[in-house]
Each structure stands twice: as C-alpha cells, then as structure tokens.
Amino acid sequence: MAQKKNRNDDNQLDLFELYKPDSNHKKVRELGQAINTNLNASQLTEAKAAARSQEQLLKKMITEKKEKRR
C-alpha cells in the first residue's frame, strides 16, 4: 500500500511540475487578456462603424424631410 501511495504522490508532483502555476498561469492570463483586448478593440471598431452609418442615415433622413417641407 505504501508503494501505491508514493506512486500517486509522484504522479501528483509530476502534474504540478508540468502545470507550473507561477509561470504558465501568468502567461495564460496575459494571453487571455490580450485576446479580450483585441476582441474589445474589434467590437469597438464595429460599433464605431455602425454608429457612423446610423449617423449618415439620420442626416440623410433629416435632409429629405427638409427638402419635402420646401
């Protein structure tokens, strides 16, 4: 039984060494933040484009209404 327990402890230690929470976790977090930043930047670009097209559409509608009144 003692050998089996030691083998499990060794496996757990190996997994811990593979994971290396201090370095890998930080890298994964930084990568996730970079991806989120890029997504947010692209979403912001899309939102700005949509706002510009909406603004142009509203200006066009206002111009048409003014012309109809004349």
pTM: 0.44
Residue 69 clears pLDDT 70, i.e. is over it: yes
Going from N- to C-terminal start, the domains of the chain cover 2-69
Element (H, E) at 69: helix 21-69
Higher pLDDT, 10 or 35: 35
Span 32-50, average pLDDT? 80
Angle at 10 (CA atoms; ends 22, 14), nearest 5 degrees: 35
Span 15-43, average pLDDT? 70
SS (H, E, C) 26-66: HHHHHHHHHHHHHHHHHHHHHHHHHHHHHHHHHHHHHHHHH
Higher pLDDT, 61 or 27: 61
